[in-house]
Amino acid sequence: MLGAMQDWDLRVTRIIDHAAREHAGREIVTRWADGSETRTNWAEVRRDALKMTQALQKLGVKKGERVATMAMNHSRHLVSWYGAVGVGGVLHTINPRLFDDQLEYIANHAEDQVLLYDHAFAPIVERMKPRWNTIKHYICYDNGEFEDWIGAEDGNTEWATGDERDPCMLCYTSGTTGNPKGVLYEHRSTMLHAITSLQPSIFDFDATAVMLPVVPMFHAAAWGLPWGGAAAGVKFVFSAVNDAAVLCELMNREKVTHSAGVPTVWLATFQHMDATGITLPTLRHAIIGGSAAPRFMIERLMKAGVNVAHAWGMTETSPIGTTGAKTFDWADLGFEAQVDIKQMQGRVPFGVELRTVDLGDPSVVLPRDGKTSGALQVRGPWVIKRYFKAEADTTDAEQWFDTGDVAILHPDGTLQLTDRTKDVIKSGGEWISSVELENAAVGHPAVAEAAAIGIYHPKWDERPILVVVKKKGEEVTAQEIRDHLAKSVAKWWLPDAVEFVDEIPHGATGKISKKDLRDQFRDYKLEDA
Ligand code: ADP
If you write DSSP's letter for every residue of 184-250 in order, what string do you get? EEEHHHHHHHHHHHTSTTTT---TT-EEEE-S-TTSGGGGGHHHHHHHHTPEEEEESS--HHHHHHH
Residue nearest to atom 12 of ligand 1 (CA): 290
Of 254, 316, 438, 449, which is the active-site residue?
A: 316
Minimum-distance ligand 1 atom for the alpha carbon of 314: 7
158 is catalytic: no
Least confident piece of the model among 318-322, 355-359, 430-434: 430-434
Instruction: Give the model confidence (pLDDT) of 438-488 as tens digits.
Output: 989 998 999 999 999 999 998 899 999 999 999 989 999 999 999 999 998
pLDDT at 382: 98
User: Which residue type sits at 336?
Assistant: E
- Set 326, 426, 511, 515: catalytic member: 426
pLDDT at 357: 97
Report the pLDDT averaged over residues 147-165.
98
**What's the average model confidence in pLDDT over 114-127?**
98
Residue intervals of the chain classified under CATH 2.30.38.10 are 353-420
Residue 330 catalytic?
no
Q: Mean pLDDT, to the nearest integer, of 494-514? A: 88
* pLDDT exceeds cutoff 80 at 63: yes
Q: What is the pLDDT of residue 472?
A: 87
**Alpha-carbon span 389 to 391, nearest angstrom:** 6
Q: Decide if 482 contacts 498 (C-beta within 8 A).
A: yes
In this structure, the number of other CB atoms found within 10 A of the CB of residue 369 comes to 10
If we measure between CA atoms, which residue out of 21, 37, 107 comes closest to residue 74? Answer: 37
Query: Does pLDDT of 363 surpass 90?
Result: yes
Quick one: pLDDT at residue 156?
98
**Is residue 428 scored above 90 in pLDDT?**
no
Catalytic residue among 37, 145, 431, 471: 431
* Predicted confidence (pLDDT) at residue 433 exceeds the cutoff of 80: yes
Confidence class for position 241, pLDDT limits 50, 70, 90: very high
Q: Which of 431, 492, 469, 336 is nearest to 481 (CA)?
A: 469
Identify the burial level of 431 via C-beta atoms within 10 angstroms of its C-beta, where 0-12 means exposed, 13-18 middle and 19 or more buried.
middle
Find out whether 481 and 466 touch, Cβ atoms under 8 Å. Answer: yes
313 alpha carbon – ligand 1 mean position (Å):
6
Ligand 1 center from residue 2 Cα (angstroms) = 41
CATH architecture for the domain at 13-343: 3-Layer(aba) Sandwich (3.40)
CA 54 – ligand 1 centroid, Å: 37
173 catalytic? Reply is yes
Atom 10 of ligand 1, nearest CA residue: 314
Percentage of the chain modeled with pLDDT above 90: 85
pLDDT of residue 112: 98
Nearest to 66 by CA among 98, 122, 7, 113: 113
pLDDT, residue 175, reads 61
CA atoms within 13 A on the CB side of 310: 28
Most ligand 1 atoms within 8 A of CB, residue of 297, 405, 406 to mutate: 405
Q: Which has the closest alpha carbon to 497: 458, 473, 528?
A: 528
Give tens-digit pLDDT for 296-343: 999 999 999 999 999 999 999 999 999 988 889 999 999 999 999 999
> What is the C-alpha to C-alpha distance for residues 343 and 264, in angstroms, rounded to an integer?
16
41-45, 194-198, 232-236, 264-268: the lowest-pLDDT one: 264-268
Report the atom number in ligand 1 closest to the C-alpha of 345. Answer: 23
Q: Which of 417, 423, 433, 437 to mutate to test the pocket of ligand 1 (most atoms within 8 A of CB)?
A: 417
What is the rounded CA–CA span in Å between residue 515 and residue 423? 9
Q: Where in the chain is the domain with CATH 3.30.300.30?
A: 425-520
Residue 236 contacts residue 229 (beta carbons within 8 Å):
yes
Class (C level, CATH) for 353-420: mainly beta
CA–centroid distance, 467 to ligand 1, in Å, is 20
Nearest CA to ligand 1 atom 6: 314
Task: Give yes or no for a contact between 119 and 140, defined as CB atoms under 8 angstroms apart.
Answer: yes
Confidence (pTM): 0.91
Per-residue pLDDT at 176 exceeds 70: no
What DSSP string runs through 9-57? Answer: ---THHHHHHHHHHSTT-EEEEE-TTS-EEEEEHHHHHHHHHHHHHHHH
In this prediction, residue 409 carries a pLDDT of 98
Question: Are 59 and 113 a contacting pair, CB within 8 Å?
Answer: yes
Q: Is 266 a catalytic residue?
A: no
Confidence of residue 421 (pLDDT cuts 50, 70, 90): confident
Q: For ligand 1, atom 13, which residue shows the shortest CA distance? A: 314
Res 508 pLDDT > 90: no
Write the secondary structure of 321-339 as one string of H (helix), E (strand) and C (coil).
Answer: EEECCCCCCHHHCCHHHHH
Q: What is the pLDDT of residues 344-354, one digit of tens each?
A: 999 999 999 99
Domain 425-520 belongs in CATH node 3.90.1300.10: no
Higher per-residue pLDDT: 132 or 262: 132
Q: Report how far ligand 1's centroid is from the alpha carbon of 292 (Å).
A: 8
290 Cα: distance to centroid of ligand 1 (angstroms):
4
Whether pLDDT at 282 is above 90? yes
189 pLDDT higher than 90? yes
Does 387 score more than 80 pLDDT? yes
Residues of the chain with CATH 3.40.50.12780: 13-343
23 or 429, higher pLDDT: 23
At residue 177 the predicted structure's pLDDT band, cuts being 50, 70 and 90, is low
Ligand 1 pocket, CB under 6 A: 173-174, 220, 289-292, 310-315, 345, 403-405, 417, 420, 509, 511
Atom of ligand 1 nearest to the CA of 319: 7
- Catalytic choice (13, 30, 173, 327): 173
CB 26 within 8 A of CB 42: yes
Indicate the helix (H) or strand (E) that contains 127: helix 122-128
Rounded distance from Cα 403 to ligand 1 centre (Å)? 9
pLDDT category at 511 given cuts 50, 70, 90 is: confident
Which of 218, 312, 320 has the most ligand 1 atoms within 8 A of CB, as the residue to mutate?
312
CA of 219 relative to ligand 1 center, distance in Å: 11
Please report the pLDDT score of residue 160 as a whole number.
Answer: 98
pLDDT at residue 18 is higher than 70: yes
- Beta carbons within 8 Å of 491's beta carbon, 6+ residues apart: none
Q: How far is CA 67 from the centre of its chain?
A: 21
Q: What is the pLDDT of residue 504?
A: 93
